[in-house]
Amino acid sequence: MSNINKKKGIIGILTGGGDVPGLNPAIRAVTIRANREGYDVIGIRRGWAGLIELVRDKKYDNSNNYIHLSEELVNRVGRTGGTFLHSSRTRASHVPKTRVPEHLKNTYNNDINDLTPEVIKNLEFLNIDYLIPIGGDDTLSYGVHLHKQGMKVIAIPKTMDNDVPGTDYCLGFSTCVTRTIMMTHALRTSAGSHERFLVIEVFGRYAGFTALLPTMAGAANRCVIPEYEFDIDRLAELLVNDRHTNPSNYSVVLVSEGAKFKGEMVFSDHEADMFGHKKLGGIGDLVSARLKDASAKFNKGKKIEVINQRLGYLVRCGDPDAIDSIVPMAYGNLALDLILENHSGRLVVLKNGRYDNEPLEIITSFKKTVDIDKYYSTDRLRPHYKSFESKPLFIMASD
């Protein structure tokens, strides 16, 4: 039985990168279990930003940088989407001069600054014994960096792209897939009514899981993913054939935001974040325009009109589905299991249907992308349908 009378230490928790359904349930799980096991919990606000902007002065109002978490507080938000701790895409080891906090500008005035020494001092100021970052490979790669500096880190994987190495599942993926399927089916009514192509742009910067799995589930006829540079004429030919065999005379393609043809990657904003990523978006618009033109080659000279929809934040917002309510609960408790066993430098994971943990360094050891030889037909521009025996819940494992 847990001992709540003896304080064992302080756990810090933060969320970084894009919001997904499942973050608040994870925060809730960590806090409730930690409190009952005798730990205090501090929520760091706005990801790594809260740890570079904190002022080490007991009299200073740091309420914008961290908050003490309680069971009462997290119970109110634990069933909701997003992150009540807020988020950012801050990379504390690569802070531009313009983003250095005011109280540190005399010390850090290079074009790019490593504020890791300040992060470590701020963690010590807060008396944090263990840090639990929840994020994708960018957020967690800095967690790896802190671990190598001696900080006790337990990481929880989160990203709708499902591309954190070492785990079959990242928080937010199930809700994303669920909503993609639901919204694609809803849009079919318009595509069928007007006998058009339906082009839907979905998330997926470097990995095509969010396009591939809904297509495998029957949401679309074809999908184009970042792992394979596709030919627009081939896509048009396939979609025209799909349309002709459909009694309602329409066809559907899911387009990953990071998909490329002829070596092109489309950016909606050329300003990069601290991790060097430009904001993607707009490939669906380009594919739609070129599909319309190319369709005439395979449709007796007549162009086919296109309905073009970018799902974007519609699959990010709102409440988590069942899996993104259950897995965060388990991940949070897995993190506490490790802390109670005095382990750190670990990533909690789901592998082959079982909860486990991996060395934290696995996050930076390789890029997790779709294995196109196993799961994608480059000729048919759709998933492979092979043996499903012994496959994990979402088919594609973190090989």
What integer pLDDT is reported at residue 330 of this predicted model? 98
pLDDT of residue 1: 40
Give the integer Cα–Cα distance in Å for 293 and 285. Answer: 13
Under DSSP, is residue 135 helix (H, G, I), strand (E, B) or coil?
A: strand
pLDDT at 266: 60
- The per-residue pLDDT for range 135-173, each reduced to its tens digit, is 999 999 999 999 999 999 999 999 999 999 999 999 999
Alpha-carbon gap, residue 190 to 160, rounded angstroms:
27
In a domain, 308, yes or no: yes
Looking at the structure of the chain, the number of domains it has is 2
Residue 253, token pair as written in the block:
């393609």
Question: Residue 20: its pLDDT value, please?
Answer: 96
Within a domain: residue 240? yes
147 within some domain: yes
What is the per-residue pLDDT for 172? 97
Q: Is there a contact between 59 and 299 (Cβ–Cβ < 8 Å)?
A: no
By annotation, the residues acting in catalysis are 161
pLDDT tens digits along 314-340: 999 999 999 999 999 999 999 999 999
Q: Are residues 183 and 145 in the same domain?
A: no
Is 398 among the domain residues?
no
Same domain, 225 and 151: no
Examine the pLDDT at 275 and tell me if it is beyond 70.
Answer: no
Q: Are residues 267 and 358 in the same domain?
A: no
Judge if 290 and 357 occupy the same domain.
no
Tokens representing 387? 């043996």
Which residue has better confidence, 279 or 229?
229
Judgement on whether residues 202 and 298 belong to the same structural domain of the protein: yes
Asked if 45 and 160 sit in the same domain, the reply is: yes
According to the model, what pLDDT value does residue 224 have? 97
What domain range includes position 350? 9-166+320-364
Residue 130 and residue 143 in contact, taking contact as beta carbons nearer than 8 Å: no
Percent of the chain with pLDDT over 70: 93
Question: Per-residue pLDDT averaged across 49-62, rounded?
Answer: 97
| C-alpha span between 363 and 328 (Å, rounded) | 19
Residues 178 and 144 in one domain: no
Q: Average pLDDT of 250-259?
A: 97
13 inside domain: yes
Residue 142 lies in a domain: yes
Please, where are the H alpha helices in 70-130?
71-77, 116-125
Same domain (yes/no): 185, 144? no
In a domain? residue 40:
yes
Q: Is residue 359 part of a domain?
A: yes
CA distance 151 to 143: 9
Contacts of 110 (CB under 8 A, 6+ apart): 97
Model confidence at 272: pLDDT above 60: no
Domain with residue 288: its CATH number is 3.40.50.460
pLDDT digits (tens, 9 = 90+) for 378-392: 999 999 877 888 888
- Statement to judge: residues 201 and 328 lie in one domain: no
Q: Rounded mean pLDDT of the chain?
A: 93
Looking at the structure, do residues 153 and 31 belong to the same domain, yes or no? yes
Residues 136, 23 contacting (CB under 8 angstroms)? no
Residues 325, 310 share a domain? no
Q: Are residues 18 and 145 in the same domain?
A: yes
Domain of 158, CATH number, reads: 3.40.50.450
Instruction: Name, in order, each residue with C-beta under 8 angstroms of 205's C-beta and a sequence gap of 6 or more.
Output: 161, 226, 257, 258, 277, 280
- The whole model's pTM is what? 0.92
Confidence of residue 7 (pLDDT cuts 50, 70, 90): confident
